[in-house]
Amino acid sequence: MFVRHCADARYVWNLGLEQRSFWRRGMSSVSVYDQKRSLTDARQHTWLGDGSSVVQQQALFDLDRAFKNWWRNPSHFSRPTWRKAGIHEGFAIRDLSIRRINRKWGEVLVPKCGWVRFRVTRQWADICAGTSARVTLDRAGRWHVSFTAPPPAFKRQPTGAVVGLDMGIAATVTTSDGEYRRMPDHLTPGEVQRKRRLERKLARQKKGSKRREQTKRQIAGLSAREADRRKDWIEKTTTDLVREYDVICIEDLKVKNMVHTARGTVASPGKNVRQKAGLNRSISSQAWALLRKRLCDKAAAATDPDGSPSPVAVVAVPPAYTSQRCSACGHTTQENRESQAAFLCRACGHADNADVNAAINIRAAGLAVAGRGGTPVVVGPVKRQPPGLAAA
Ligand SMILES: [Zn+2]
């Protein structure tokens, strides 16, 4: 039934998406309520009628939410896209009912399935605060349920400290205080070896065979472990940063572009293709995007020790020349960059680690943004004009 729910949710989402792009080409627009009526119609005449109407309706509301997010903040959210089988497997539950069985296990009421057990991995109070839930299937074949709840308050002492962050291509975060944090190699040497062995095995196995599917699943299991560790690192790093600093300045990087342009085209291959191809593999663009998102989430939820809201400011600054400018005298030239790692100013002789120099520039640029105008700081990404007619 879960698989069926996933398929239904995906089908309805994609249909709704198609309907919206169709209407956009015509002059009129379609609302989520029009779509809901079409769904009721379709349920009477097609196989959709056998599925859960709650799950199918929720897919339309999810789609609507995705569009609204994108219109509101196009630099943070991208345009809703097609959901693909095997990749986007999941469905949402509204009108949540949950109950606890014991310390380790709880149950959630799923439409057409009844009570389904889940392993409790969060504070029960946080789960109870949930207003809706999402059930997903990851590529390793594990089912997860996650509960949407208001973000828990992040209690911290004000420190008065300001920091600039340079997010480097060597999978590092460098602070303007000269501290490095490196995203760990996600698989141990033994696991890498095992993955290679499985991949060789996969190549030999017959397509469509049961054993091949099993090997595929084992490989996916290793990839999932890798992703879990990356997420864990991101959580710890963002928690530390929000705890230590009152103002956090980051580059307003288009992470997607950074990774895409590295590939270049066949006619004009991008510079450093090899190096950046490695970047694509080792840190996916999603990792940086997630780091940034979690930083903004926690910063916005920060409170004083007594519980009164006192958000940490995250300032996004334009990334121009941060790696070429001297943080001591301001001299800006490409030659300042001695190598990937070393910075040496041609004007004043200031020498520093290139990433630390960049982080100090980002901090200065952030403070300049903060000092300008009435609203001193921006939480979250810098706002841009909504696409509006330009997208039509
Ligand atoms: Zn200088």
To the nearest 10°, report the CA torsion of 233, 235, 237, 241: 180
Q: Please tell me the distance between residue 351's alpha carbon and the centre of ligand 1 in angstroms.
A: 8
Contact 317, 163 (CB under 8 A): no
Q: Judge whether residue 210 has pLDDT over 60.
A: yes
Task: Give the whole-angstrom CA distance, residue 343 versus residue 204.
Answer: 49
Q: Please tell me the distance between residue 325's alpha carbon and the centre of ligand 1 in angstroms.
A: 8
- How high is the pLDDT of residue 221? 87
Task: Give the whole-angstrom CA distance, residue 129 versus residue 148.
Answer: 8
48 — pLDDT class (breaks 50, 70, 90): confident
Q: Please tell me the distance between residue 92's alpha carbon and the centre of ligand 1 in angstroms.
A: 55
- How high is the pLDDT of residue 7? 92
Q: Token pair of 370, please?
A: 């903060």
392 — pLDDT class (breaks 50, 70, 90): very low
Query: Which tens digit of pLDDT belongs to each residue from 226-253?
Result: 888 888 899 999 999 999 999 999 887 6
Which one has a higher pLDDT value, 126 or 237?
A: 237
Nearest 5°: the CA angle 380, 367, 345 is 115
pTM summary value: 0.64
- How high is the pLDDT of residue 371? 66
Q: Judge whether residue 386 has pLDDT over 50.
A: no
Active site residues: 166, 251, 355
Mean pLDDT for the stretch of residues 3-23: 88
194 — pLDDT class (breaks 50, 70, 90): very high
Going by C-alpha positions, the residue among 88, 94, 107, 358 that lies closest to residue 250 is 358
Ion ligand 1: residue ranges with CB closer than 5 A: 326, 328-329, 331, 345, 347-348, 350
Q: Please tell me the distance between residue 345's alpha carbon and the centre of ligand 1 in angstroms.
A: 5
Mean pLDDT for the stretch of residues 159-165: 91
46 — pLDDT class (breaks 50, 70, 90): confident
Among the listed ranges 28-32, 84-88, 359-363, which one has the minimum average pLDDT value? 28-32
